[in-house]
Amino acid sequence: MAAGTKKVGTTGRFGARYGLKIKQKVLEVEKKQKKKHECPRCHKLQLKRLAKGIWSCKKCKYTFAGRAYWPLGE
């Protein structure tokens, strides 16, 4: 193993110049992205991201503009 290699979980690829706060933020975002998203119309967990900010429900075909990495909310 190379000297100075530190394990910092999935955020390791961002390197040491990023602070812990940012790493926590990134983990939070990744968690939200991995979560299944609920359709605001039929409430099935069938939302699929078509493009950045564009979401579509596989069940009822409802398509809407949402957030870039998760459908709605913060």
Between residues 39 and 70, which has the closer beta carbon with respect to Zn ion? Answer: 39
Q: Minimum CB separation from Zn ion for residue 54, in Å?
A: 14
SS3 25: helix
DSSP designation for 52 = T
Q: What CA–CA distance (Å, rounded) separates 7 from 30?
A: 18
Between residues 60 and 72, which has the closer beta carbon with respect to Zn ion? Answer: 60
Q: Minimum CB separation from Zn ion for residue 60, in Å?
A: 3
Between residues 59 and 67, which has the closer beta carbon with respect to Zn ion? Answer: 59
Structural contact between residues 53 and 66, judged by C-beta atoms closer than 8 angstroms: yes
